[in-house]
Amino acid sequence: MKLKEIFDGVFSIDGRLATKNLVKGRSYSEKILNIGGEEYRVWNPDKSKAAAAITKGIRNFPIKKGSKILYLGIAQGQTASYFSDIIGHEGIIYGVEFSSRAVSDLVISTEKRGNIVSIKADARKPEDYSWVEKVDVVYEDVADPEQVAILLRNAGAFLKKGGYAMMAIKSRSIDVTRAPKEIFRESVEMIKNTMEILDFVTLEPHEVDHAFIVCRPR
Ligand SMILES: C[S@@+](CC[C@H](N)C(=O)[O-])C[C@H]1O[C@@H](n2cnc3c(N)ncnc32)[C@H](O)[C@@H]1O
């Protein structure tokens, strides 16, 4: 099999994205590839917007070994499990989620990883989890009309100097009646007031009406 590391801890194996499993023998329902005594978990771009963004050619992916991440809208932790593989035991993910059901599933599915902290809270109110330390990356995947403002508020409160923010924008959650292109342009303009945009890609065919942005404070 042809294996190439395309970002720190993110591999392309015969053209499929994968991460090295932090907890051998544990997976969701993804395919496992065994190479040189290591387990690699295939990261499906149809099931994870971060994987879709990498597949669509983002040039900056700031999550690496030891990264501290604030993850807004972590849900059951599917994408976070790949971030958890990449950051290893030296890193940590603070996962904010307001659905009680999702948080229960998250706790069960990630307990063996040891680098994900579940936080049952509303990402619109960062003051409710103000105890979280400063992080290297704020990652946002919430379906909320205010999702750009939520990202900026959390980045302002928790991002270390030199840190990065990434977000998946769902145009239909912001305004279902308007053209996605227009929503994306407005979102970019809002972000540009305080951040430098490093990457912008749309996520089709993996996710329709979604875009993905990597940015950092100016
Ligand atoms: C698209 S799903 C996230 C999928 C997940 N990021 C993944 O790739 O595995 C969006 C999640 O955001 C959560 N959410 C939406 N608004 C939120 C808010 N204001 N605060 C916290 N969680 C929120 C939803 O409950 C849902 O679980």
pLDDT digits (tens, 9 = 90+) for 157-216: 999 999 999 999 999 888 888 889 999 999 999 999 999 999 999 999 999 999 999 999
pLDDT of residue 40: 97
Give residue-wise pLDDT tens across range 81-100.
999 999 999 999 999 999 99
Compute the distance from residue 141 Cα to the ligand 1 centre, in Å: 6
pTM, two decimal places: 0.97
Domain of 87: which CATH number? Answer: 3.40.50.150
In a domain, 6, yes or no: no
State which of 97, 153, 206 you would mutate to test the pocket of ligand 1, scoring each by most atoms of that ligand within 8 A of its C-beta: 97
Domain range for 211 = 44-217
64 CA to centre of ligand 1 in angstroms:
22
Calpha distance 146→124 (Å, rounded): 8
Contact 213, 169 (CB under 8 A): yes
In sequence order, the 6+-apart residues with CB closer than 8 A to the CB of 63 are 7, 8, 9, 69, 83, 86, 87, 137, 139
Q: How many domains does the chain have?
A: 1
User: Does any domain span residue 28?
Assistant: no
Residue 29 resides in a domain:
no
Residues paired with residue 57 on neighbouring β-strands, in sequence order: none
| Interval 145-154 mean pLDDT | 96
In a domain, 10, yes or no: no
**Tell me, what's the pLDDT at 11?**
98
- Omega before 205 cis (within 30°)? yes
Over residues 30-55, mean pLDDT? 96
9 in a structural domain: no
CB 147 near ligand 1, within 6 Å: no
Lowest-confidence segment of 4-13, 45-54, 66-75, 109-118 by average pLDDT: 109-118
Q: Is 96 near ligand 1, meaning CB less than 6 Å away?
A: yes
User: In this prediction, what percent of the chain has a pLDDT beyond 70?
Assistant: 100
